[in-house]
Structure 1
Amino acid sequence: MINLSKLSKIDFLVLISVVIIGLIHLPFPFSGDQALFTIGALEMQQGKVLYRDFWDLKQPGIYYFYFLAGNLFGFNEIGVHIFELIYMVFFSIILQLTLKTYFQHRIIASLVPLLTVSAYYISSYHRQFTQVEGLVGFPLFICLWLTYQSFNHEGKPRFIQLLISGFMGGIVLIFKLIFLPILLAFWLTILLHSVLIKHQKFQKIFIEICVPIFLGLIFPILVVVSYFAGVNSLSIVYKTFFVYPRQVVADGTFNISKLVFGTAWFLKNFVTLVLIAIVAVNVSLRQGKNLLTLLLVVWFVLGLGMIVLQARSLWSYHYLLLFVPTGILATKGLDILWQPFKELSSRRIKVLVSFLFLLPLLLNFQFKSVALVKNNFALTEETRFKYQTVFREDYTLLRSEISFLSQPGNLPGEIFVAGDPSIYYLSGRTQATSLNGWSLELFLSEQWPQLLQELDLSKPPYIFISDNDESRIKKGFPKILELIEKRYHILSKSNDGIWYILN
């Protein structure tokens, strides 16, 4: 149970700040990814089975998150972001309660959520919010913390800690399997420490550590596997998790431009935190040999490696995998520098140093806050739409393009979009096929005939093909365009693509 009585007044002030910062972001628009997750979760709520009836390359964790958010607060931007805020505030409380002994100065320990969760909110825009890498930081931290705590315990307490650590590791894998090396590194660290530092017998300690971790790890995975076995979908799940990713990587090329762009985004927002975190790592590992610091460094380094491995489909939000270790280590750096900072004689210098430290985050926060105030805090549907177009200029174009779908006399039914899934979300229509048209560049050769077959059988009344995806379809499987030209005629053209209507 969480004991809130252990929180100080400063802790609560920090939590209130986190809530306020989070509230500013509730009306933020979805990007295509979030729109896809929302539509997928909505279809799950209507009885469809993930991967069988609605396919995506991602593991199911993100869809379960949106499913819970939608059922609790609504399948829309506000509903998803409210659930995300509750999730992040709960994470903030856990950070404050668990890390108090990690810092020398109590006031610094209270600030951890500001340099982690608040930094996540302030640095993120519509493309980064509520993505796997941002959400997975919570269970990853619990896994790391319990692994660290087990260093100092034996017997039943260690068993329980490692059991829950394994369980959290299972939750992480349900979000994304590629994070397994990070988890293994956490658990390998405790094994090596027990054998090399404490000189415990390898066979005995291996069993003591691995059994509870395995039991905890396998439980959430078995629950998911049992569900998909119950709906006769294990075959497609196996292919999605283990066959398709390998083939996608084999068919692709390393995208250096995406790597450079993503790294630039991360450094632009987190550069001061990274610099002060380096101070913490240098002092904490060289002088104190702190194991918690070591585990956080392992998380950062291996996390960076996982990001580079995804260079074919790398996006800026992948770097959110690093916001938790970066923020905690930056707070540790502040803890180390707190006494020299207090001894500065000039108040102006103190203010200047504080301003420079927070500058990257302050610029983002100012821009978002001003936009919210200018649009009357986005309290009505009209002002919310104006606020959203500040961050997604194409929202106006998208809404005008899909307006005909809600007019009297339009053809009812599910549609197909080769392009931004926001069209589904904004129009209130779901997709007519199990395969979505959001990531056609990652399609495998066997998926093109499947998409053709599904379009042939479902006969969606409307089809939208973006200009970019039209060229991909021509290159990947032109028979799809031949089917469309045979059964459909052009309804309208826009700067982004073509709407087709069934003959």
Structure 2
Amino acid sequence: MISITKLNKIDFIVVIIVVIIGLVHLPFPFDGDQAFFRLGALEMQQGKVLYRDFWDVKQPGIFCFYYLAGTLFGFNEIGIHAFELIYMVFFSIILLLTLKSYFRHQIIASLVPLLTVGVYYVVSGAWHLTQVEALVGFPLFLCLWLTFKSFKSEGKQRFILLLLSGFIGGIVLLFKLIFLLILVSFWVTILMYSIVIERQKIKKTFIDICLPIFIGVMIPIVVVASYFIWFNSFSIVYQTFIIYPPLIVAESVFDISKFIVGIKWFLQNFEPLILIAIIAVYTSFLKSKSLFSLLLFLWCIFGLGVILLQHSSLWEYHYLLFFVPIGILATKGLDVLWDSLKELNSPLPTMLLIFLLFLPLSSTLIKKSVALVNNNFALTEDTRLKYQTIFRKKYPSLHSEANFISQPGSLSGDIYVAGDPSIYYFSGRTQATILRGWALEYFLHEQWLTLIEQLDLSKPPYIFIDYEPQAIIKEKFPRLLEFVEQKYQILRQSNNGIWYIIK
């Protein structure tokens, strides 16, 4: 049974190393997704209701995370990343406290945060940080651990553990409903274990396990649903979560090129850990029948199913869904190898293994660290922009786009950007419409019509259309461009896109 233990000196050293790795990423730039989440969270802070006043197809969890981060530390790169670092450090401590008895050697057990959270930071660029798949690793692990703890528990203790597991699972669903597949794999495993292995009565076992889980899951969902009902916006939330996703999937096709790019990124960054994790799967699960290893393995299998079901996107950051189970299994693999390595007369094989494991990761971290030092730790606005430009080449040009409408004499008011939401961030302005201008390729036909109505009603003084979204608009709904050309005139053309000013 895995139990909670105290931290030792090596644990504290590892946590400090994780903090240092995370600090390197504090000034990292926003990518389009992060700028969009930040925009939605900022509008929430200004009193707008999500989905009713600011619409996106994603569940509210990610916007709530950015809302908390921005409120506590500021709605900028450092504020959002600082909150994420605190979140990840807390996660690291939880991993250390809960997983000690899963490993035979305590020195190996102390490495768990490095091979999970540490690796996450090292492999992540601007596009990957603070994405849903990265943040959800913490509650998914808690759900898995609580489920496992309930295996050997009985009565009231088992009820409480499963209730908590369901509650955490409900929080996971607030980030993405499709993660239910992973959660169900955990809960079905305990059900099958109790019925098949422990030979408990089917009906009683089903009630004893499913009832507390269901109650737990419903608590956060009912709270969030009550919030939207209070603001008379539950109908649009229902459409957003239940009606729109199947329609979007039905209109999309499996993009094999995205799939290949995503798999390639994943293997390039996680290959050493995967190879060592295979050792753990073989010895800990197939050979020793470890239930905890089985749950981690199921996380990976059903996580892959979750990614494939999102065949309209298949982005690189989706594979961050695996950094927790693969990191833990890789640590377990090292734990298995440790006995054999200690018996060798020469330390050379051990050193070679560690070198091969950490070489790709350490070289990436060194490059990031050197860039930070060369730019005076990004302490000033100028040095920070130079540092950010290394990791997102487009950042200065987006900054200049925002500066263009921030000059003296510029028209005031909210704007509309069909393209990168970073322009909102740099300009200090918000979105004039309810519907977004980001990821237009996923719009349904009726949403294009609604967007024209919202633009006509809000009359933003400026509209910016990026060249890539412009091609999407021409293909899917050219009437939008006709509307813009009728009501607006071209103010400026740049390498990024076209600025329009209201006539």
The CA distance in 2 between the partners of 1:4 and 1:330, in whole Å, is: 21
Asked if 1:144 is matched to 2:178, the reply is: no
Out of 464-473 and 36-45, give the one that drifted further: 464-473
Equivalent residue, structure 2, for 1:262:
262
User: Residue 256 of structure 1 aligns to which amino acid in structure 2?
Assistant: I
Give 1:396's aligned residue: 396
Match of 2:39 in 1: 39
Q: Name the CA distance, whole Å, in 2 between partners of 1:322 and 1:5.
A: 25
Shift of 1:5: 8.0
Structure 2 unaligned residues grouped into runs of 5+: none
Q: What is the TM-score when the length of structure 2 is the normalising length?
A: 0.98
Is structure 2 residue 75 aligned with structure 1 residue 64? Answer: no
Q: Contact 1:258–1:311 at 8 Å: present in 2 too?
A: no
Hey, what's the Cα distance between the residues in 2 that align with 1:335 and 1:348?
18
Give the CA deviation at 1:174.
0.2
1:295 corresponds to which residue? 295
CA offsets 1:408-455 (integer angstroms, 9 cap, x no match): 100000000000111111111101001111111101011000000001
What is the aligned partner in structure 2 of residue 286 from structure 1? 286
Counterpart CA distance in 1 for 2:203 and 2:68 is 42
Cα contact 1:252–1:312 (8 A) shared by 2: yes
1:222-262, Cα deviation, whole Å (9 max, x unpaired) = 00000000111111101110111100110010001111100
Is 1:276 aligned with 2:276?
yes
Structure 2: which amino acid aligns with 1:55?
A: W
Give the distance between the partners of 2:252 and 2:11, measured in 1 at CA.
47
Task: Say whether 1:96 aligns with 2:96.
Answer: yes
Counterparts of 1:68 and 1:217, CA distance in 2: 22
Q: State the shift of 1:43 in Å.
A: 0.3
Structure 2 residue matching 1:6: 3-state secondary structure: coil
Farther-moved stretch of structure 1 (345-354 vs 471-480): 345-354
Query: What is the aligned partner in structure 2 of residue 468 from structure 1?
Result: 468
Alignment check: 8 A CA contact 2:4 2:99 kept: no
Kindly report which structure 2 residues correspond to 1:76-475, keeping only aligned pairs within 5 A, or say none: 76-475=76-475
Q: CA deviation at 1:349?
A: 3.5
Deviating beyond 6 angstroms after TM superposition, the runs of 4 or more aligned structure 1 residues are: none
Checking the alignment, whether the CA contact within 8 Å between 2:403 and 2:426 is kept in structure 1 is no
How much has 1:405 moved relative to structure 2? 1.8
Distance 1:251 1:312 in 2: 9
**Partners of 1:188 and 1:352 in 2: CA distance:** 41
Shift of 1:4: 10
| Runs of at least 5 residues in structure 1 that lack an aligned partner in the other structure | none
How many residue pairs get aligned? The number is 501
Cα contact 2:341–2:349 (8 A) shared by 1: no
Letter in 2 for 1:8: N
Distance 1:384 1:112 in 2: 31
* Letter paired with 1:434: I
Instruction: Name the CA distance, whole Å, in 1 between partners of 2:24 and 2:342.
Output: 32
Q: Hey, what's the Cα distance between the residues in 2 that align with 1:309 and 1:361?
A: 30
Contact 2:5 2:98 in 1 (8 A): no
Q: 1:403 and 1:4, CA in 2 relative to 1: closer, same or farther beyond 3 A?
A: farther
Cα distance in 1, alignment partners of residues 410 and 186 from structure 2: 56
CA RMSD, 1 decimal: 1.2
Percent sequence identity over aligned pairs: 65
Post-superposition CA distance 1:296-350 (Å, at most 9, x none) = 0000000011111112111100000011000000000000001112233333433
Deviates more, 1:447-456 or 1:356-365: 356-365
Cα distance in structure 1, aligned partners of 2:456 and 2:475? 20
Is the Cα–Cα contact under 8 Å of residues 5 and 97 in structure 2 kept in the other structure?
Answer: no
- The separation in 2 between residues aligned to 1:437 and 1:259, in whole angstroms, is 25
AA matched with 2:48: K
SS of 1:18 mapped into structure 2: helix
AA partner of residue 485 (structure 1): E
- 1:383 and 1:416 mapped to 2: Cα distance? 29
Give, in whole Å, the separation in 1 of the partners of 2:475 and 2:206.
Answer: 52
Q: Could you say what secondary structure the match of 1:128 adopts?
A: coil
1:81, distance to aligned residue in structure 2 (A): 0.5
Match of 1:488 in 2: 488
TM-score by length of 1: 0.98
SS, match of residue 88 in structure 1 = helix
For the Cα contact (< 8 Å) 1:270–1:360, is it kept in 2?
no
* Structure 2 CA distance for aligned equivalents of residues 371 and 414 of structure 1: 36
